[in-house]
Chains A and B, each alone.
Chain A
Amino acid sequence: MRRVACAALCLASACAAPGPAHPPRPPATTPASSASADVDGWRKQIPKAGPAAALVYPVPESEQLKNGLTVLVMKRPAAVASLSLVVRHGASSSPQGQSGVAALTARMLTEGTTTRSSSALAEAAESLGSALEHDAGRDYSMVGIETLSADVEQGLALLAEVAQKPAFAPRELERVRGEWLDGLAAERQTPDRLASLAGLRLLLGEPHGAPVGGSVPDVKKLTVRDLTAFHRRHWVPGESALVVVGDVSLSGVRDAAERAFGGWKPAPAPTSAPAPTPAPPDKTRVVMVNRPGAVQSALFVAQPLAKRSDAGHEARQLMSSLLGGLFTSRINQNLREKNAFTYGARSDAVATRHWGALVVTTRVESAVTAPALRELVGELARARDPKRGAPISDEEVARARADLISGLGARLIAVDRLAADVGSSFALGLPPSTSSELPQRLTAQSTAAVAAEAARIDEQRLVVVIVGDQASVKPALEAAGFEVREAAAELTW
C-alpha cells in the first residue's frame, strides 16, 4: 500500500516545495511501449475540467424534545442508517484522579441494563447484523449503532435502553476492567500510540493531557460508584443529542425518539470549570521513551494552538494541511519523498473545546532519527518565517483548500462519517450548519491569513517525544544539538 491511515492523531501524508531527490535520468534502455513523441505529443495537454458540479453538504434538521434532548436528523438515500446518542461531556469532564471514567462509562452502558444482560444486548444488536458501539473523546461520550433502514426503530430502542437503564453490575465491571487494562497495555506496546500518549501529557498536563482511555493506575481504582456518578451527572437529556443519518424523516425520528427517550428525566447541566493548559516549554527538548533495539523511532512533535471556538480555525486547518496533511505537504515530501526517512509523516491541527495543538507524527528508521527531527523542525521554521526561502504560496494554499473541501464532500458517501460530523459539531457547541459552511469559510481564507497562523509556530519551544532505541538515538540527537531527557515513568502509565 502506498499510504496508510493510522489511528487517532495520525494518518499518512506529505508536501510542496522540494523537488525529487534525484534528477530524472533517461531510462537505461529504450522503452518498448513508447511510441515516438510526434505520435503522442497530444498527450502533453492536460485535460480541462468540465463545469464544476455543486456538491451540497446538507444542514441537519434539528428539534428538541420536552426533556431537552436535541434530535438531529440528516436524510440520506442510503440502505443503512447511523444512529447515535452523543453527550457533550468526555474525558475533559473527568474528576481528578479518574482518567478513563468517561470512556469506561460509555463501554459499561453496552454491558448490561436493568432488564437485559450484556450477552442479551450483544445478541440483540448482532441479530440486526450490527453491534452496539461506544466511545468517548475529550469533549464527548456516545453510544451508537448502525442498522438497515428498516431496523431504525429497533436500533433506537436499544440505544434508549442502554443510555437510560445501565446496570453497572460490579461483576461485569471487573470483567471489563481486566479487558480494558489489557487494552491499555496493548496500546502502550505500540510505538506511535505510546509517543502520542506521553506527548499529550507533556503538552497539556493534567487533566487535559490524561489519556481518554485512562491511566493504568486510575483505571485500576475506578469503582461502580464513580461510573454511576459520571453517568448521572453527564448523561442527561439537556446535554445530549440523538443523531440519525439515513433514509428517515425528521417527523418520523422525532416521534420514535419521543417514544424511546421521552421518559428520560431532565437534570441540570453539570457545571465544569476546566483547568487551563500549561504554557509551552521554555525551549525545545526531546523526551525519550526507551524501546531497546527498536528499528524505528516514533516521533511526536507538538505545540499548543488556539481552541476550536477561537477565530482562525479554518486558516489553521489549511496551515496544517500544507505542512503535513496533503500527500504533497512540506513535511511528507521532505521526510518521505526526498529523504526516504519514513513511510509517511503527517500533521494535524487538533482543536477541542478547551485547547488546540499542532501535532506532527512520523516513524523513521532509527539511524536517521536526528536528521529527520532536524528536517521536521526546519520545515516548521520555513513555514513560520518567509525569509527562509519557502514562503507559503497561493498555489499550496489552493491545493490544501481543494483537498479539504473535497474531503468534506467525500464524507457524503457514508452515513457514519456524516453522523460523526453532526455529533462532533454538537459536542463542541457549534451550530449544526458548521460542516455545510466550511467550504465557504475555507474559500474566504487568504494566503496571508494562513501565513499569519504559521507565524505563530515557535520551533524553539516544541514538545518532542521520541519512542526508540535510546542507546543509539540519544547520542545522535545530542550530537545534533538537541537536549534529551529520559521520560519519567508516569508519562507512560
Chain B
Amino acid sequence: MTFRGALVLALALSTSSARAAPATKVPEIPFEKYALDNGLEVILHRDPALPLVAVNLWYHVGPVNEPPKRSGFAHLFEHLMFTGSKHVGTGFDKLLESAGATNVNGTTSWDRTNYFETVPREQLELCLWIESDRMGFFLDTLSAGALEVQRGVVKNERRQSYEDAPYGKSSLELLDTLFPQGHPYHGAVIGSMSDLDAARLSDAEAFFRTYYAPSNATLTLAGDFAPDTAKRWIARYFGPLPKRPRPTVKHRPTPAFASLVRKTVVEPVELSRVSMGWLTPPAYSRETAALELAAAVLAGGKATRLYRKLVVEKKLASEVEADLDPNSLAGIFSVSAVAASGKPAKEVEAAIDAVLVELSAKGPTQAELDRARRRVLFGLMSQLQQLNGPDGESGRAGLLQRFNHYLGDPGHLRQWHASIEAVTRDDVRRVLAAQLDLTRRVIVTTVPEPKGKRP
C-alpha cells in the first residue's frame, strides 16, 4: 500500500508555526489485472496491514439494461442472488456470519450491480467458492417462492426509502422527469410497483443468462492474501464456468434536456423543499472534475456558497445540498434546499438561482475553490483507509472497480487526483455556465400536506 505512512506527522512543530496547508500526497492503489479464458476480469490489490481481505464482484449490468416494463428488475435480481445456489445451498448467510464476514451486501446502481464481503484472510477460499457458485449455478435453486418473498421485501424497501420517507416521492419525481418514459433510467433503480409486480421467473432466467456471464463480471480482491494462492483458487472456482458471450450494450446518447419543467409534489412533511436537477455529460467526461468541484463549492460545508447565502445570511433554508452523480448515459447534477420553517419555496428557489447566476458569471474565489478541492481530496484519502466501502464502489476495492467499469483502467485514481488538482476558478465558472442552464432543468417543489390531514 502506497499511501500509508507517506504523510509523516509533524508534531514537533509548535502551534505558532503557521504554515500553508500542504497539497495532498498523490494517492495510489497498486494492483494487478488479468482475465480468465472465460472472460472474467480479475483485479488484485494486496495489502497485508490487517489480516483481512475484501472480495468485491461487479456484474456490468444495471437498470441501464432492463427490458421495457421491467424497471427495478436489476435490483430485484440482486436480492434473488442471495437466495442460494446449487452447491452452496440456501445457507450461505450463516456460513459467512460464522466465518466472521463483515460489510456483506449487494448494491445496484444505474450501470452496475455488485456483491461483496470482507473476511478474515483465512476465509478467502470460502468467499470464492460462494461467489463462483452464484455465478455458475444460481438458476439451479431459483424458485418462484424466493421470487415472491424478495418481491415483497423490495416493495417494502421502496415504501421505506421513497413512499414513506420525507422527500422520497419528490426525489423519484425529479429522476423520472429527467429520464422520461422510454429512457433506460426511467423508473429509477428501485423501479415502479407495477413493474415489480410484473416480474416473472422467466425474466430472472433470461436476465441471468444474458448478463450474469463471467465475461460480464469483474472480481476484485483487496487486502491480505498470497497472490499465487489466490490466483490458483480463482482459476479453480471460476475457471471452469463456461464462456458465454459478453452482452453488447447499445444506447443512444441521452438528448440534452430541452426546457424548464416544474413539478409539485404534496407530502406529509413540515418543511417545504426545492430540488432541481440537470443532465450533465456522462461519467469521467472532460467536465466531470470541474462539476465535482462546483458541487463542493456550492454545498457540503459551512463555508460553502449555498450554506452561507441561504442558511446563514438569509435564513431561508435549514439544509442545502449539491451533488454530482455521474453515470454512463448521463450525469445528474442536483441542488436542493429544505426551506426554513415558514419560508416560501419560491424565495428559496430564487436565492439558489441568484447563487448559481453569480457563480456562473464570476466563478468561485480562489480560497473557496481551494477549500472545496481540499475537501474532495481529503474525502478521497479518508475512504482509502477502507479495503472496501459500504456501497462496494468506494474504498480501495470499490474505487478499483469503479474506475475499471467506466474507463477500463483500475489505476485511473492518479489521473483523477490530477484532474481535481488542475481545476481552475475559470473551469468552475465555465462548467457552471455551460451545464447548469437555468432554462433547461427540472424543478421539483415539495409542498407540505395541509395540516388538517396530519396529526
Chain A interfacial positions (CB closer than 8 Å to B) = 1-5, 14, 16, 20-25, 27-29, 31-35, 39-40, 43-44, 46-55, 77-81, 118-119, 122-123, 125-131, 146, 148-153, 156-157, 175, 178-179, 181-183, 185-186, 188-191, 246-249, 252-253, 255-256, 259-260, 289-296, 326-328, 336-343, 363-365, 398-399, 402-403, 405-407, 409-410, 412-415, 492
Give chain A nearest CB distance to B89 CB in angstroms.
9
Offer 30 A-B interface pairs, CB within 8 angstroms, sorted by A. Answer: A2-B106, A4-B161, A23-B145, A24-B143, A27-B140, A27-B143, A40-B137, A49-B125, A55-B52, A78-B385, A80-B381, A125-B303, A127-B370, A129-B374, A129-B375, A130-B375, A131-B302, A148-B7, A150-B8, A178-B341, A182-B319, A185-B270, A189-B166, A189-B269, A247-B8, A293-B453, A363-B159, A365-B156, A406-B120, A414-B385
What A residues does B180 contact at CB under 8 A?
A: none
With both beta carbons as reference points, the residue of chain B lying nearest to A411 in the complex is identified as: B102
CB neighbours of A43 from chain B (8 A) = 86-87, 129, 133, 137, 237
Q: Within 8 Å CB of A151, what residues of B? A: 21
The answer to whether B156 and A343 have CB atoms under 8 Å apart is yes
Given contacts A31-B137, A34-B140, A252-B11, contact A148 B340 (CB under 8 A): no
Chain A residues touching B, majority SS: mixed
Which residues on A sit within 8 Å (CB–CB) of B257?
none
In the complex, how many angstroms separate the beta carbon of A57 from the nearest chain B beta carbon? 11
For this complex, into which size category does the number of interface residues on chain B fall? 35 or more
Identify which of B57-65, B76-84, B285-293, B405-413 touches chain A: B76-84
- Nearest to B205 among chain A residues (CB) is A29
The docked-state distance in angstroms from the alpha carbon of A146 to that of B374 is 13
B126's nearest neighbour on chain A, judged by CB, is A47
A20, A39, A78, A126 pick with most chain B CB within 10 angstroms: A126
A336 touches B11 (CB 8 A): no
Residues of B within 8 A of A49 (CB): 99, 120, 122-123, 125-126
Q: Check B384 against A128 for contact (C-beta < 8 Å).
A: no
Provide the bound-state CA to CA distance between A248 and B10, in Å: 9
Q: Which stretch, B308-316, B353-361, B425-433, touches the partner chain A?
A: B308-316
Once the chains bind, are B136 and A33 in contact (CB under 8 Å)?
yes
The 8 closest A-B pairs by CB, nearest first: A22-B145, A340-B152, A129-B378, A406-B100, A53-B51, A252-B11, A182-B318, A31-B139
Is B181 at the interface (CB under 8 A from chain A)?
Answer: no
Which of B83, B269, B367, B390 is in CB contact (< 8 Å) with A5? B390
> Is B371 within 8 A of A126, CB to CB?
yes
In the bound complex, CA of A492 to CA of B455 (Å): 10
What residues of chain B lie closer than 8 Å to A492, measured between beta carbons? Answer: 455
A259 to B151 CA separation, bound complex (whole angstroms) = 60
Instruction: Kindly supply a per-residue 1/0 record for chain B positions 5-19, scoring 1 wherever the CB is within 8 Å of any chain A CB and 0 otherwise.
Output: 111111111110000
CB distance from A337 to the nearest CB of B (A): 7
A359 to B385, CA, bound (A): 32
Q: In whole angstroms, how far apart are the Cα atoms of A31 and B208 in the complex?
A: 10
Chain A residues near B15: list those with CB within 8 A. 153, 156-157, 256, 259-260
* B149 proximal to A (CB < 8 A): yes
Inter-chain contact B341/A149, CB cutoff 8 Å? no
Interface stretch of the complex, out of B90-98, B276-284, B323-331, B435-443: B90-98
Question: Which of A1, A27, A47, A341 is the one whose CB lies under 8 Å from B105?
Answer: A1
CA distance A157 to B22 in the complex (A): 17
Q: Are B97 and A294 in contact (CB under 8 A)?
A: no
Chain B residues lying within 8 Å of A402, measured Cβ to Cβ, are 97-100
- Complex Cα gap A78–B367 (Å): 27
| Structural contact, A152 and B9, CB atoms closer than 8 A | yes
Given A43-B87, A364-B156, A398-B98, are A149 and B9 also a contact pair (CB < 8 Å)? yes
Measured CB to CB, the closest approach of chain A to B31, in angstroms, equals: 18
User: Which residue on A lies nearest to B236, using beta carbons?
Assistant: A42
Which residues on the B side are within 8 Å of A14 (C-beta)?
Answer: 93
B319 shortest CB reach to chain A, Å: 8
**Chain A residues near B106 (CB-CB < 8 A):** 1-2
Residue in B closest to A289 when the chains form the complex, CB atoms: B455
Interchain CB contact under 8 A, B87 and A40: yes
A252-B11, A410-B52 in contact; A178/B340 too (CB < 8 A)?
yes
Which of A33, A363, A403 is in CB contact (< 8 Å) with B139?
A33
* Known A119-B312, A399-B98; contact A24-B84, beta-carbon cutoff 8 A: yes
**Residues of B contacting A407 with CB < 8 Å?**
102
Nearest chain-B residue to A43 (Cβ)? B87
A40 to B85, CA, bound (A): 13
User: CB of B49 within 8 A of chain A?
Assistant: yes
CA distance A31 to B212 in the complex (A): 13
Of the candidates B151, B303, B378, which one forms a contact with A80 in the assembled complex, judged by CB atoms under 8 Å apart?
B378
B25 within 8 A of A: yes
Which residues of the partner chain B approach A191 to less than 8 Å between Cβ atoms?
164
CB contact list, B173-229 vs A, under 8 A: 201-202, 205, 208-209, 224
Closest to B156 in A: A343
| B242 in the interface (beta carbon within 8 A) | yes
B101 interfacial contact with A, CB 8 Å:
yes
Judge if B454 is at the interface, Cβ distance under 8 Å. Answer: yes
Cα-based distance from A190 to B25 in the complex (angstroms) = 41
Tell whether B250 is near chain A: CB-to-CB under 8 Å.
no
A406 touches B102 (CB 8 A): yes
Question: Within 8 Å of chain A (Cβ to Cβ): is B351?
Answer: no
**CB-based nearest B residue for A77:** B4
Shortest distance in angstroms between B182's beta carbon and chain A's nearest beta carbon? Answer: 26
A75 to chain B: closest residue by CB: B9
Q: A186-B166, A407-B102 are in contact. Are A146 and B11 (CB under 8 A)?
A: no
Partner of A79, one of B99, B143, B381: B381
A402 to B93, CA, bound (A): 13
**Would you give the shortest CB distance from B448 to chain A, in whole angstroms?**
9
- A119 CA to B301 CA, complexed, in Å: 11
Task: Please state if A186 and B107 are interface contacts (CB–CB under 8 Å).
Answer: no
Q: Which residues of B contact A338 (CB under 8 A)?
A: 149
A119 → chain B closest CB, angstroms = 6
Q: How many angstroms from the CA of A489 to the CA of B49 in the assembled complex? A: 54
